Structure 1
């Protein structure tokens, strides 16, 4: 058996944040990558905007998770990407220019996904000729999926949401620290992964730790903030920006696993603290950027 055609989505619910168009995607029937809860498929986007015909990655929640069907399931991830992109825009325009004497990075950008509902599934075919059942191996009919631009280059994980950080990506670790500082300790953007193209980082699937746990399964709240701060050893860029770290103890974040941690994996006492936004290590301040 094989696949007769690609999976296809309907036009996206959300508009592209750059060009304002809605797009639909067709994509392979087999994933090329998988995480703990999602599968990634190669494909192409189509529509009337400038992205028509370009390569994309369509992301699908795995079967067997509680997040499998609805638009609402994608909202926390979508909002995290929008929030991270806003922080990155401010950092790129207002902070990076002041660091150009010591770094080459000129821009940090986050991909914001399009959310779309499935239109049609590929079919299995007998002897390569006669289509029979729809291929529901990975995707349900009318399931909602996320569509992102395909990132060309070496995909890397620069830090995690539980304390790991790649020390060679100093500017991204500083960016994560800066988001905590500039938001009055209310948010911390992390789990940074993507590609570097020259002086630009293009990142996808961020986690945001928030005071009230609004950003879904990878939002570990104040517990995640503490884990980042304990592991983060401030570099010269942090010092130039005057960033404080009340929990720095020299622990190397590189010794922590680079995998993503989910809020239900925390110890019970930490789940309670995260839900309550309770920490003994720092206070919440008036934000400079909300």
Structure 2
């Protein structure tokens, strides 16, 4: 796969690219360009001979002590695949001039870390953010104006007709089991290209941004229907059970931020089809 003293490299991805069926390895920079609540993002390049060979990508690395193993990335893959499946159903049922498409990450194990220092005998592996036995996620670099449209805490930042309706649609299409939210990415002339969705589900199957029933209830407490979703059924709320609203914020919210009351509500409503009432 070649070497570069200044960059990190992975071996071939565990999973295959959904659009071309190829596995890729990547070389990515040692300095991140963006940091989230749980991950660093690094610019890199795809290699492997497929249609994406030589294209720019983003490598995402879990922050130390959060997660590092392949199994830690499985909920991210599951969330992206589920979101994309529901997006295709929404696009067919409610066609717009900008269909919704989600990026599905590749997961790859590190091959080696780039070297620090200018001379071989003074160099050592740069292990500040990632180590050679850890796994990273790989996604295409999305060109254009990157926006956050809504968050998994129920906040809305960019008004569109289709994206709030899509989140509402996912609740109905999943038989009231989940909501796809935390929508972010690029809106161009042809598509919404979205990445890193959060799914709030009753069974909390989708990793640390899955806020469960409390997250679903919080979304609908702040959701205003658009022309697309105004005819969709709204959730049935059980006013006998109340839970405090999540604090809306632009960044993702995580399960470790939930209160004991939120956790109790998530357990109580796991097998129900109703939602608790939200109190401010």
Aligned to 1:53: 54
Shift of 1:8: 0.2
> Residue 230 of structure 1: SS of its match in structure 2?
helix
Distance 1:268 1:123, change over 3 A: same
User: Which segments of 5 or more consecutive residues in structure 2 lack a partner in the other structure?
Assistant: 238-244, 276-280
> Residue 117 of structure 2: SS of its match in structure 1?
strand
> Residue 162 of structure 2: SS of its match in structure 1?
helix
Q: What pairs up with 1:251-270 in 2 under 5 angstroms? A: 256-270=248-262
1:59-114 Cα offsets, whole Å, 9 max, x none, are 0001132x12x100000111000100100111112222xxx4xxx32x10000000
Name the CA distance, whole Å, in 2 between partners of 1:11 and 1:238: 42
CA contact (8 A) 2:100 2:192 kept: yes
Shift of 1:277: 3.4
Aligned to 2:142: 151
Divergent runs of 4+, >6 A: none
Aligned to 2:217: 226
Shift of 1:275: 3.7
Shift of 1:246: 4.3
Q: Is residue 212 of structure 2 the alignment partner of residue 244 of structure 1?
A: no
User: Which segments of 5 or more consecutive residues in structure 1 lack a partner in the other structure?
Assistant: 248-252, 284-290
Which residue, out of 144, 149, 160, partners 2:151?
A: 160
* TM-score in terms of structure 2 length: 0.89
Name the CA distance, whole Å, in 2 between partners of 1:72 and 1:276: 28
Root-mean-square deviation (CA, aligned residues, Å) is 2.0
Shift of 1:6: 1.0
Report the count of equivalent residues.
264
Q: Is residue 69 of structure 2 the alignment partner of residue 74 of structure 1?
A: no
CA contact (8 A) 1:222 1:279 kept: no
Distance 1:46 1:142, change over 3 A: same
Shift of 1:5: 2.3
Shift of 1:161: 0.4
Shift of 1:264: 1.4
